[in-house]
Amino acid sequence: MKNLVFSILTPLLLIISTSCNDKKESNVSDFIAQRINSQSQGTIKLSDFKKTNGYEQEMMGMKMYVLEWAADILVQNEIWKVGNNLEGYWQSFNVTLKKPDYWNAYANANMPKHFGTGASIHLTGDSRLHKTEKGWIVEELNLKTYQILNEGDLPENRFIGNWAGENASYCKLIKTDQGIKYLSTNENFQELSENYFMSYNNGILSGGYTELFSKASDELIKCNFSFKLIDNSTMISQSSCGVLDGIKYHKK
């Protein structure tokens, strides 16, 4: 009889225990998801969450439980994330939808990171819960590590590659550590400058400066120019040098 009772109670206890553990995990998952949504203005969502470890703890007579977790978050809109290499970028999920002023960010040692739609970040951390009559309540959230899995669909990355103009002019845009570099591949012009780079803002690559030597006219042409993105495969150039004005380029 005792064996029969034991055989019945054992699986029931396991079910109850598993249910409690699952509730802790779901409580933490819901807590993190709500915080991400609130602080990021709905631009980031929790895409995956799992418990990696857990242990009981007692502090000042209060029964606590520490749940260690791993999570993936997904960026749903283009954002800038302010932070720094000392404190990190994901102690909170606050974001800005416009690029922060560079000098203000630099002065505060909060260099912004740019993320595009589809960016994903892997996080690890732990959460402390305390037990109440109504169940386990999440008390705090601590981030341990983060890893950027991909930066998402950043506008500046769309420009990389070779482009051909409708009037047979050609150019190449390459991404470097200093910025985006313009190179003319038109056989009628020779590229002379090496140290000028463009920056991306509101759909326009600007700040470009180059010196082209025209083989046809045997003269040096200095150009200040920008490129406006029409879509992923088309852009229009604007310049002050006259040779590139209004040319529509298509990605090759």
How many domains does the structure of the chain reveal? Answer: 2
Write out the residue range of the structural domain in which residue 245 sits: 155-251
Kindly report the backbone phi and psi dihedral angles of residue 116, in degrees, each rounded to the nearest multiple of 5, phi listed first.
-100, 175
Of 150, 172, 195, the domain-final residue: 150
Please indicate, yes or no, whether residues 42 and 141 belong to a single structural domain of this protein. yes
- pLDDT score at 208: 72
Name the pTM for this structure.
0.59
Of 98, 125, 150, the domain-final residue: 150
Please indicate, yes or no, whether residues 141 and 70 belong to a single structural domain of this protein. yes
Cβ contacts of residue 90 below 8 Å, gap of 6+? 81, 83, 121, 123, 143, 146
Which tokens belong to 8? 């019945």
Please indicate, yes or no, whether residues 137 and 240 belong to a single structural domain of this protein. no
User: Is 238 a member of any domain?
Assistant: yes
Give the helix ranges, DSSP H, for the chain: 2-39, 102-107
Please indicate, yes or no, whether residues 162 and 245 belong to a single structural domain of this protein. yes
User: Is 7 a member of any domain?
Assistant: no
- pLDDT score at 189: 58
Of 150, 172, 188, the domain-final residue: 150
User: Is 6 a member of any domain?
Assistant: no
Written as one letter, the residue type at 169 is: S
Distance linking the first and last C-alpha atoms of the chain? 81
Please indicate, yes or no, whether residues 126 and 101 belong to a single structural domain of this protein. yes
User: Is 242 a member of any domain?
Assistant: yes
Q: pLDDT by residue for the chain (252 residues), tens digit each? A: 555 544 544 444 444 444 444 589 999 999 999 999 999 999 999 999 999 999 998 877 778 899 999 999 999 999 988 776 666 788 899 998 887 765 555 555 566 788 999 999 999 999 999 888 888 899 888 999 999 998 888 766 777 777 887 766 777 777 776 777 777 666 655 555 565 677 777 677 777 766 666 666 677 767 777 788 777 788 887 777 655 456 777 887
Q: CA 100 to CA 107: how far, in whole Å?
A: 12
- pLDDT score at 14: 41
Please indicate, yes or no, whether residues 164 and 142 belong to a single structural domain of this protein. no
- pLDDT score at 51: 96
Please indicate, yes or no, whether residues 96 and 201 belong to a single structural domain of this protein. no
